[in-house]
C-alpha cells in the first residue's frame, strides 16, 4: 500500500505516470481541501477535482484544472448579468455572520456567486452541484468523494484530508484573504506576510489508515498544498512514524511553477530543496533532480524530475519506488 499527499499540480502530474510502478488498487491519494471554497452555494474542491479529472482521463492538461473541452456558457452569462445589473465583480465574500452559519463544511471560504470570480466550466459545475447536493443530503465529503471517484472510474482511492473545514488564509498588506482570492483574483501578486490555516480539522478513519504504510509527498507546494494536510489533527504524528519519500518541487532554488517559493520564504524557509528538507523533518528519503546538487542528511535518489509527459512522470515514479525500497 502507498499513499500520495496531493495538491493540484505537482502530485497529480506524478500520478499520471505512476500506474506501472504502484498498483492503483493499492494506492491512496490524500487530497488537500484547504483550497476549497463555497461559491454561489456550490462546494468547490479544486485539488480533489484535479485528481478526479486527471485519473478519470478528462482533465484539461493545459491548465491542470477543469474538464478538457468544457464550455463556459453559464460562467460567461453570470458576468454579463452582473455587469448589466451594475454589480461589482468581486470576489464577493458573504458577510462574516454568514461564514459560520449553516453547512459546516463551508466556514470562512464563502463567496457570493455574483460575477463568479473563479472560472467554472459547465460540466465542472455539474460535479460541484452533485458534490454539494450529496453533502446537503447528509453524506460526508469522504463518502461523496468516493461516489464521484466511482463515477469517473478511478482505480486509485481518493480521500479528502478531512471531513471538517479548513480555510487557507493569506495575510497580505492588502488585508487577509482566502488562498483562492490571493491566487485566482490577485494572481498571487500581493506580498505574503503570513499563512494561516483556519479551522481545526480532524483525521477520518480512512486518513488514519492511509498513513499506516509508505507515504509519498509528491512535488506539491509544501506550504499551501501539504501544509493544510499536516494541520489535520494526528497527521503530523503519523507522518513521523511512516516511511516518507519527498519529491522536491524545486531544482536547488528554482521552482517549477507557482507561488511555492514566496510562500516558503513567508513561512521562514529557504525557497529551495534545502528549505523543503528543513520543512519536512519527518521525511526519510528524497527524490531530487539530476541537476540538483543539494546535499541532504537523508538518502537521495536522483533523476530528471521535469514532468512534461506521462513518460516523464513514470521515470519520477520509478525513482520514488527506488527511494521507498531504500527505506524498506
Enumerate binding residues for ligand GDP (CB under 6 A): 7-11, 13, 47, 219-221, 225, 247, 249, 255-258, 260, 305-307
Q: Which CB sits closer to ligand GDP, 105 or 255? A: 255
Neighbours of 123 (CB within 10 A): 15
Nearer to ligand GDP, 2 or 307 (CB): 307
Give 243 or 275: the residue with its C-beta nearer to ligand GDP. 275
CB environment 166-197: b (16+ within 10 A), e (fewer): bbbbbbbeeeebbbbbbbbbeeeebebeebeb
Q: Report the distance separating Cα 177 and Cα 197, nearest Å.
A: 12
Q: What's the min distance (Å) between Cβ of 9 and ligand GDP?
A: 3
What's the closest the beta carbon of residue 97 comes to ligand GDP, in angstroms? 30
Minimum distance, C-beta of residue 64 to ligand GDP, in the bound complex (Å): 6
- For 255-300, give the DSSP string: ESSTTHHHHHHHTTS-SSHHHHHHH-TT--EEEEETT-----SS-E
What span, in angstroms and rounded, lies between the C-alpha atoms of 159 and 154?
12
C-alpha cell read off for 32: 488537500
Which three cell numbers mark 166? Answer: 479548513
Least CB distance to ligand GDP at residue 13 (A): 6
Smallest separation (angstroms) from ligand GDP to the CB of 302: 12
Nearest to ligand GDP of 10, 214 (CB atom): 10
For the CB of residue 8, give the shortest distance to ligand GDP in the complex, in Å. 3
Nearer to ligand GDP among residue 79 and residue 252 (C-beta): 252
Whole-angstrom distance, CA of residue 14 vs CA of residue 307? 7
326 phi/psi in degrees, rounded to 5: -55, -35
* Residue with the three cell numbers 476549497: 36
State the DSSP code for 111: E
CA dist 253 and 273 (Å) reads 7
Minimum CB distance to ligand GDP, residue 260 (Å): 3
Q: Are 305 and 249 in contact (CB under 8 A)?
A: no
> Which one, 59 or 82, has the nearer CB to ligand GDP?
59
3-state class (DSSP) for residue 73: helix
Q: Among residues 7 and 165, whose Cβ is nearest to ligand GDP?
A: 7
Q: Minimum distance between the CB of residue 256 and ligand GDP, rounded to whole angstroms?
A: 3
Taking the least distance from each CB to ligand GDP, the nearer of 94 and 267 is 267
Amino acid at each position: 500500500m502507498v499513499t500520495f499527499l496531493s495538491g493540484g499540480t505537482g502530485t497529480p502530474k506524478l500520478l499520471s505516470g505512476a500506474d506501472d510502478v504502484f498498483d492503483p488498487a493499492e494506492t491512496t491519494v490524500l487530497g488537500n481541501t484547504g483550497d476549497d471554497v463555497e461559491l454561489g452555494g456550490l462546494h468547490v474542491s479544486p485539488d480533489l477535482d484535479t485528481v478526479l479529472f486527471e485519473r478519470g482521463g478528462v482533465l484539461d492538461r493545459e491548465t491542470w484544472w477543469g474538464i478538457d473541452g468544457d464550455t463556459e456558457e453559464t460562467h460567461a452569462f453570470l458576468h454579463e448579468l452582473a455587469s448589466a445589473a451594475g454589480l461589482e465583480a468581486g470576489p464577493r465574500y458573504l458577510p462574516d455572520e454568514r461564514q459560520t452559519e449553516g453547512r459546516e463544511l463551508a466556514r470562512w471560504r464563502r463567496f457570493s456567486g455574483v460575477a463568479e470570480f473563479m472560472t467554472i466550466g459547465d460540466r465542472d459545475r455539474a460535479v460541484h452541484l452533485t458534490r454539494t447536493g450529496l453533502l446537503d443530503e447528509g453524506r460526508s465529503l469522504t463518502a461523496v468523494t468516493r461516489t464521484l471517484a466511482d463515477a469517473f472510474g478511478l482505480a486509485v482511492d481518493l480521500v479528502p484530508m478531512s471531513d471538517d473545514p479548513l480555510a487557507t488564509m493569506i495575510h497580505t498588506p492588502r488585508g487577509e484573504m482566502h488562498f483562492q482570492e490571493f491566487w485566482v483574483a490577485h494572481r498571487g501578486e500581493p506580498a505574503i506576510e503570513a499563512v494561516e490555516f483556519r479551522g481545526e480539522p480532524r483525521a477520518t478513519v480512512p486518513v488514519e489508515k492511509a498513513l499506516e504504510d509508505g507515504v509519498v509527498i509528491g512535488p506539491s507546494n509544501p506550504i499551501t498544498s501539504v501544509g493544510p494536510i499536516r494541520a489535520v489533527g494526528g497527521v503530523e504524528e503519523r507522518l513521523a512514524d511512516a516511511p516518507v519519500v519527498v519529491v522536491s518541487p524545486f531544482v536547488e532554488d528554482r521552482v517549477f511553477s507557482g507561488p511555492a517559493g514566496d510562500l516558503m520564504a513567508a513561512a521562514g524557509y529557504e525557497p529551495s530543496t534545502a528549505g523543503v528538507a528543513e520543512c519536512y523533518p519527518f521525511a526519510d528519503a528524497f527524490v531530487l533532480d539530476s541537476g540538483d546538487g543539494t546535499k541532504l542528511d537523508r538518502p537521495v535518489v536522483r533523476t530528471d524530475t521535469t514532468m512534461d509527459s506521462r513518460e516523464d512522470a513514470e521515470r519520477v515514479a520509478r525513482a520514488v519506488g527506488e527511494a521507498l525500497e531504500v527505506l524498506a
